[in-house]
Structure formats: C-alpha cells, structure tokens
Chain A
Amino acid sequence: MSMQTSRLHKEQLISSIKKTASMFTGMLPILVGVILLTGLILELIPTDKAASWFGRNTLLDALIGTAVGSISAGHPLTSYVLGGELLENGISLVAVTALLVSWVTVGSIQFPAEALMLGRRFAFYRNLICFGFSILIAVLTVATLRLLG
C-alpha cells in the first residue's frame, strides 16, 4: 500500500516537473523579449534627462511624473535617485511621488507580456487604473504630509 502511494507521488512529481518545464519554456520568449525591450528603451530614453521635462505646474508635473514612471523599467532605486534629484531642482513632491508610484505599479514595457499571460483586458485596465491611482496617491500623500505637519 505504502509502496503504491510512493510510486503515485513519484509519478505526480515527474508529471509536475514536466508541466512546470513546459510552462517555463513557454514563458521564456516573453521574458527574454521584455528584457531586451527594457535595454533598448532605457538606451533610447535616458531617465537622467527627465529633470528638464518638469517645472510647468503641479498637475502637469504629476501627469509627466506618472508618464515617465510608466515607461521606465529600471530598478526602483533609480526612481529614488531621480526623484531626489528632481526634488533638489525644485520639482513638486506631488510630481516626484507620482513618478515613484507609477514606476513600480504601471508597466508599459511589460504590457505585452502581461497581456499574453493574464489577458489583454486585464492588463489594459489594470495598467490604466494604476496610472490614475499614481496621481491620486501622490496628491493624497502630499496632502496627508501637510496635515501631519
């Protein structure tokens, strides 16, 4: 009885390994594609030049911050450095916060991968909602900080 159970477990494990390997192999072209696209976009749009895009008015800056964050695919640490630099250059905290939030929640470059894996409708609306929320969170965070003094 226990030998039968053990054989059944072994068969289940082998079947799980095969299934996982197949799923993983299927995911690889998407993964490699996103990584290659990230490299190309980072070279085409250097985020260190972003400081010159801001400085008109708070709301427009927040929108630009969200847009820059949405198309950025670098490490979140880069957004902290960029955000710190923007603050030093007098860019509003609302814009910087919008950039920080959208950097990690909106994925324009990953969109094709997300749409292929989780559905186009899901990926589109999730990213759209996250885009809007980035501005909202930025405004609320700064308002709360003002309230807290």
Chain B
Amino acid sequence: MKEKSGRSTRGGVIFLLVVACLYALAFLIDTELALNALAFSTNLLYQLLPVLLLVFALMLISNFLVKPEWVRANVGKDSGLRGWVVAVVGGILSVGPIYVWYALLRDLKTMGMRTALIAVFLYNRGIKLPLLPLMIHYFGMTYTLVLAIYMTLFSLLSGVLVEKIVEHKPRP
C-alpha cells in the first residue's frame, strides 16, 4: 500500500512538472495568455482553501474514527441498500470540485469501500443542491426535477457498470 501511495505521489510530481512545462511553453508563445491562466489558477486555489480544510478535517476524522469495519459495513461489499444511499446522499452533499475528494475516496477504498459506490459518489457530485435554485431559474422546475431524477438513477447504473468492468478478471 505504501508503495502504491509513493507511486501516486511520484506520479503527481511528474504531472505537476508536465503542467509547469506547458506553462513555460505558453509563456514563450503567448505571455498574456499564460499570465491570465496563472491569475485564474491562483484565484481558484485561494477560493478552494476552505474546501481543502474541510477535506483535510474529513480525512483526519476518517483516519482517526472510521475503522475498516465501519467502512465495510456501510459502504463495503455487503453494505447493501444502505451503501447505495450513503454514496448517493454523500455525493450530493459534498462540496467543492471533484478532485479534492479523490484522496478521501482512495483512503476509504483501502479500508474496503466498494468500487461501485465510489463511482456513484462521484456521479452524484454532479447534482449541486446549492445551485438548484439557479438551475430552476434558467431552465424551469420540471426540467430541473426530471434531470436530477435521471442523474440519480444513472449514477446507480454507472456504479454497477464501472464495478463490473474494473473488477472483471478475464478467464485464464
């Protein structure tokens, strides 16, 4: 596990270096564009700080209080209906961009969280409760409601499919 985590950290550093190279290239080609992109990114990072703190707190709680037995019982292979409900509600209620949740999900996965439920959680992040009034304003109540229902239903289907494909082992 430690080896896997080390690999993803190394991968992360390589990824950051690749992005830095893209910026260097952008600076050479179009300095204004690169500066605008950098300003946008700095502002985004600043806006994300409260969410990052929340994620850190949740990761700490998960490491300190959540035990693998709890994960297995509530979002594990045998969690049943409860697992699906936890993943749907958790996904809808989670805030901030999707990528800040990857680390927590990886943590829960190592404790036994089901692959399908990770996919369901990630899909339901698409339903943004605080933005629903705005969506209603732009597209109407019926549209918003129908879309939210379809997204929830398809999130379950995506979970089943992703798990089937990812965990499928070809016959020897």
Contacts and interface: CB of A to CB of B under 8 A. Distances in A.
Given A16-B64, A42-B40, A118 B16 contact: no
Contacts of A58: none
Given A33-B12, A137-B147, A80 B158 contact: no
B107 interface: yes
Contact of B23 (A13, A36, A130): A36
B165 A125 contact: yes
Interface residues of A, number: 60
B139 A122 contact: no
Interface residues of B, number: 68
Nearest to B60: A20
Given A30-B99, A100-B147, A42 B37 contact: yes
Contacts of A43: 33-34, 36-37, 40
Contacts of B142: 145, 148
A142 to B, nearest CB: 9
Interface in A25-62: 26-40, 42-44
Contacts of A34: 99
B119 A117 contact: no
B70 interface: no
Contacts of B16: 29-30, 32-33, 36
Contact of B22 (A35, A37, A77): A37
Interface in B71-104: 97-100, 102-103
B98 A24 contact: no
Contact of B109 (A40, A42, A84, A118): A118
A126 B122 contact: yes
Interface string A100-129: 110011010010111011110110011001
Contacts of A141: 143, 146-147, 150
A76 B131 contact: yes
A24 B60 CA distance: 10
Given A33-B12, A80-B139, 14 more contacts: A26-B103, A27-B103, A31-B52, A35-B41, A36-B41, A40-B26, A44-B33, A104-B126, A113-B15, A113-B99, A117-B8, A117-B103, A122-B162, A145-B143
What 10 pairs between A and B have smallest CB-CB spacing? A39-B41, A104-B126, A117-B102, A29-B12, A16-B64, A30-B12, A39-B37, A39-B40, A26-B9, A16-B63
13 contacts: A29-B15, A30-B8, A39-B41, A40-B19, A76-B128, A80-B134, A84-B138, A110-B97, A113-B15, A117-B103, A121-B165, A122-B118, A148-B146
